[in-house]
Structure 1
């Protein structure tokens, strides 16, 4: 019996980014052409070398579209990202990361 083929995603967050992109496109937030242009810019920025076409680039492209559309600006994404990282640090191993675990969260 051979080992199963690896899935298309190396980590759950990659599947979540993929699902967000598909869902937001299907809801009409952006077109596939806009997505392709934005992802292309994330992979091959005009001011730097080409980056690997991985889900980190997908996330960067999605953040760019959200900022351009006024859904979530760069500052809001940065604040939420830092809160998530603090929550991750405060979450016991093996438990789901929730923003409520952020020690700086007011409450």
Structure 2
């Protein structure tokens, strides 16, 4: 991984004993997508960090009416922001892909024993 992850500050991913922490499989997938797209040159890391900080800042500014805290919801939203801002995906393409993923059955990417 070549993404220059922040260790501290608002853009720093959750860690425990120095290791990245994911509460659900989708979080690690969202993390991996962002790093892989960065590694492939789809965007610059400072762009992503700025989008992530902006998403977190908007959440903080929402006050009591805001959604419950989820670092990786902000991470994924920032990735969507960057991908549409760079023209990698149009908002319609992003919506179509999200809809497709939403309708996959639980465990779709895990092998089933025969």
Partners of 1:62 and 1:38 in 2: how far apart? Answer: 8
Deviation per CA, 1:20-78: give whole Å up to 9, x if none: 111222222222211111111111139x5277351011100001111111111222111
Give the match for residue 50 of structure 2.
Answer: 37
Aligned to 1:23: 36
Runs of 4+ in 1 over 6 A off after TM superposition: none
Q: How many residues align?
A: 88
Unpaired segments ≥5 residues, structure 1 = 98-107
Structure-1-length-normalised TM-score: 0.65
Q: In structure 2, do the counterparts of structure 1 residues 23 and 76 end up closer, same or farther at CA, with 3 Å as the change threshold?
A: same
Structure scoring higher RCO (CA < 8 A, sep ≥ 6) equals 2
Match of 2:90 among 59, 73, 77: 73
Q: Residues of 2 paired with 1:84 and 1:25: CA distance?
A: 21
Return closer, same or farther for 1:32/1:86 CA change in 2, 3 Å cut-off: closer
> For each residue in 1:60-105, what CA deviation from the matched residue of structure 2 results, as whole angstroms up to 9, or x when unmatched?
00011111111112221112222322333xx6xxx416xxxxxxxx
SS at match of 1:29: coil
**TM-score scaled by length of structure 2:** 0.62
